[in-house]
Amino acid sequence: MNSSNPQLNKHGELQHLLTIEGLPRDVIIGILDAARPLTELAGQEEKKLATLRGKSVFNLFFENSTRTRTTFEIAAKRLSADVINLNINTSSTAKGETLLDTVDNLAAMQADMFVVRHATSGAPHLMARHLAATRQDHIHVVNAGDGRHAHPTQALLDMYTIRHFKREFHNLTVAIVGDILHSRVARSQIHALTTLGVPEIRAIAPKTLLPTGVEKMGVRVCHDMKEGLRGVDVVMMLRLQNERMSGALLPSAQEFFKSYGLTPDKLAQAKPDAIVMHPGPMNRGVEIDSAVADGRQSVILPQVTFGIAVRMAVMGMLAGN
């Protein structure tokens, strides 16, 4: 493990994927480049590669997830890995075993990679540090979302989607809209967009759903949806995360949709060729209108498809280092 960046080994290669923050631009570009040929596998009769043959990938999802866990599972299986999905609700952690005890026990079962989603921010970092301290550097950790902190593979697949449809990053204006306060996706997106040289990033949300000091991340804050969407190339919608909210941050979902829901009328403020993205799951009629979600500018389903290739690229890169 690299002491200055725990995600990189001593050669500067990817050892773990924990966060986009601090990840070198050439590593991000390397992942996006590696994913490009993998997107073509989906249309082929033989979809499997031998990259992870003989390797064991453990999916440790301490929070519910369908899309992320499934795409990680598909990605690992397409690389010929042995995939073990741990049922956390019935595992030893539900009986009081600590996270690190679980890691040690699974390491003893010859695990090669952990894909972890956890409600506590920093849990994947804790696992990576523990593996380094116990000289188990051959085991890699992939963060599939931790608390409000980060969701690096989601940000990477979003960057892949943007590059696929827009080719370049240096001339784009990107708007991130909705519940930015509770969104680990938004934080990872902002770090990725900044690292890749996007000149203008706008955060559009009510004051109650913006983190304190978000401007310090290099974004322009807008509270008016139409003003914020004016002339943008990419619209990245976010889900209202009611399960993470405490107290009355919003008057109602209906009021939120009226002011911040993406409708055809509001989208008309963006460039005619602007693309609309959403990490899912979508709340139709809350943050996005069905006419937009299913419309010609939506690239929401391609995001899901690209996500498999990007996660394959990440796992393949980790296995090779």
Residue 262 included in any domain: yes
| Residue bearing the bigger pLDDT, 41 or 272 | 272
Residue type, 168: E
Per-residue pLDDT at 193 exceeds 70: yes
Q: What is the pLDDT of residues 267-320, one digit of tens each?
A: 999 999 999 999 988 999 999 999 999 999 999 999 999 999 999 999 999 998
Dihedral (C-alpha) 306, 308, 311, 313: value to the nearest 10 degrees? Answer: -70
Determine the Cα–Cα distance for residues 130 and 90; give it in Å rounded to an integer.
24
Per-residue pLDDT at 72 exceeds 90: yes
159 and 294 part of one domain: yes
Cross-strand bridge partners of residue 143: 116
Residue 200 included in any domain: yes
Total tally of structural domains belonging to the chain: 2
pLDDT for position 93: 58
Query: Model's pTM, two decimal places?
Result: 0.94
> Does the annotation flag 117 for ligand binding?
yes
> Does the annotation flag 154 for ligand binding?
yes
> Does the annotation flag 68 for ligand binding?
yes
Boundaries of domain holding 81: 25-150+305-319
pLDDT for position 117: 94
pLDDT for position 246: 45
Residue 17 included in any domain: no
Does 272 sit behind a cis peptide bond, omega within 30 degrees of 0 on the bond before it? no
Contact 299, 165 (CB under 8 A): yes
129 and 177 part of one domain: no
Q: What is the pLDDT of residues 93-147, one digit of tens each?
A: 554 578 899 999 999 999 999 999 998 999 999 999 999 999 998 999 999 999 8
Residue 7 included in any domain: no
Q: Which of 164-168, 234-238, 246-250 has the lowest mean pLDDT?
A: 246-250
> Does the annotation flag 95 for ligand binding?
yes
Per-residue pLDDT at 247 exceeds 80: no
Residue 3 included in any domain: no
264 and 129 part of one domain: no
> Does the annotation flag 316 for ligand binding?
no
Residue 11 included in any domain: no
Per-residue pLDDT at 91 exceeds 80: no
Rg of the chain on CA atoms, in Å: 19
163 and 206 part of one domain: yes
163 and 184 part of one domain: yes
Residue 14 included in any domain: no
52 and 176 part of one domain: no
Is residue 16 exposed (0-12), middle (13-18) or buried (19+ Cβ within 10 Å)?
buried
139 and 95 part of one domain: yes
Q: Which two tokens stand for residue 15?
A: 């050892």
DSSP labels, 171-185: T-EEEEES--TT-HH
161 and 290 part of one domain: yes
Residue 249 included in any domain: yes
Average pLDDT on 183-200 reads: 97
208 and 288 part of one domain: yes
* Confidence class for position 227, pLDDT limits 50, 70, 90: very high
> Does the annotation flag 279 for ligand binding?
no
Per-residue pLDDT at 56 exceeds 50: yes
163 and 243 part of one domain: yes
CATH of the domain at 182: 3.40.50.1370
Percent of the chain whose predicted confidence (pLDDT) is above 90: 79
* Confidence class for position 249, pLDDT limits 50, 70, 90: low
| Residue bearing the bigger pLDDT, 90 or 307 | 307
> Does the annotation flag 15 for ligand binding?
no
49 and 171 part of one domain: no
Q: Count other Cβ atoms within 10 Å, centred on residue 247.
A: 6
145 and 226 part of one domain: no
> Does the annotation flag 280 for ligand binding?
yes
